[in-house]
Chains A and B, each alone.
Chain A
Amino acid sequence: MAKKQLYYEDVEVGTEVTPLAKVATTQMLVKWAGGSGDFNPLHFEDSFAASQGVDSPIVHGALKRAWLGHLMTDWIGDGGFLKKLACQYRGMDYPRKMKTITDPQEGETWWCRGTVTKKYVEDDQHIVECDIWVENAKGEKTTPGSATVVLPFKKAKS
């Protein structure tokens, strides 16, 4: 899967991070619980979720954070390095239920997005800062955050 490498010179303030679509499903939440070790029943049991004041099990904040990690590592490619990743869990999201063993019902799609806010060279590193977020189908940023990456630099050509 040879991806095209992103270079420092390829981005400017305002450049969009290549968006990434995600569909949270009840199945994905179960896999996330197992993969991450977060077994809080808030994310898989209706009655417990209700006792915590939410309508039904909600998407783990940390899963949305992991989506943002995916957004950034895809964008920077194998040659980039993610230095910082931060986000806040501001809004709740509800997963789609499953229609078949493999396919979800129709419903919401989430988008992970970002824009470049700053680029500079520090200690010989070519650094790019971005605002990033997960937005729901209504366009609400339920998980806003930021990321700082180091990108490779095309050698001076002269």
Chain B
Amino acid sequence: MTEGSAITDELRSMIGMATEPVIMEVERGAIRRYADAIGDPNPLFSDVEYARNSRYGEVICPPGFFGWPLKRGGMMELLGTIGGALFRAGVPRILDGGVDYEFFLPIRAGDILTSHGKFADFREREGRTGKMLFITMETTYLNQNGDLVAKARSTLIAL
């Protein structure tokens, strides 16, 4: 944690860098296509009549779907910015390491979400094949009422 390589100093100075807010419309059709891609026939995601009679009153998103455009857009831009530092760190390859979601409210078709992403943290580790950096990106999602609906912490592995 204390080794102050030039790389970690440069990256450390970037912690907190944020994306522009991204506005996402949650459309029924997009939800249906997403659920269909997973192979999930749950009528809460696709059957308007069924969903209307459920406690949600409307089609909802499967966990992890937040409508279009995807957070990926804003995040990839941000990653592009810190990518230079990763490249100079000699770890230009980036792998998706996993994600940690916290859900607070259901997301319904017709909602308009705003996401804010940021470079939250990183740690350095010696792997079997050399240096690895674990990058944590954080995204929060608010709905049209300004309520927090979800938080995501994604781990990217740079090596």
Contacts and interface: CB of A to CB of B under 8 A. Distances in A.
Contacts of B102: 83-84
Interface string B87-119: 000000101111111110010000000000000
A111 to B, nearest CB: 14
A82 B63 contact: yes
A78 B56 CA distance: 9
A73 B31 CA distance: 15
Interface string A37-60: 110000000000000100000000
B38 A63 contact: yes
Interface in A70-93: 70, 72-74, 78-79, 81-89
Contacts of A78: 44, 54-55
A66 interface: yes
B101 A86 contact: yes
Contacts of A61: 96, 98
A109 to B, nearest CB: 12
Given A36-B37, A38-B72, A88-B98, A62 B64 contact: yes
Contacts of B36: 31, 35
A85 B155 contact: no
B147 interface: no
A69 B64 contact: yes
B75 to A, nearest CB: 11
Given A84-B101, A87-B99, A70 B37 contact: no
Contact of B37 (A31, A83, A145): A31
Interface of B is mostly: mixed
A101 interface: no
Contacts of B38: 32, 35, 63, 66-67, 69-70
A65 interface: yes
B63 A73 contact: yes
Contacts of B34: 35-36, 66
B124 interface: no
A155 B113 CA distance: 35
A37 B72 contact: yes
B20 interface: no
A124 B82 CA distance: 43
B98 A89 contact: yes
B73 to A, nearest CB: 8
A129 to B, nearest CB: 13
A85 B101 contact: yes
Contacts of A74: 40, 42
Interface of B: 30, 33-34, 36-44, 50, 54-55, 62-65, 68-70, 72, 93, 95-103, 106, 155
Given A35-B37, A63-B38, A87-B98, 13 more contacts: A35-B33, A36-B37, A38-B72, A61-B96, A62-B64, A69-B40, A70-B39, A79-B55, A81-B103, A82-B103, A85-B64, A89-B95, A145-B98
5 contacts: A31-B33, A35-B33, A35-B34, A35-B37, A61-B96
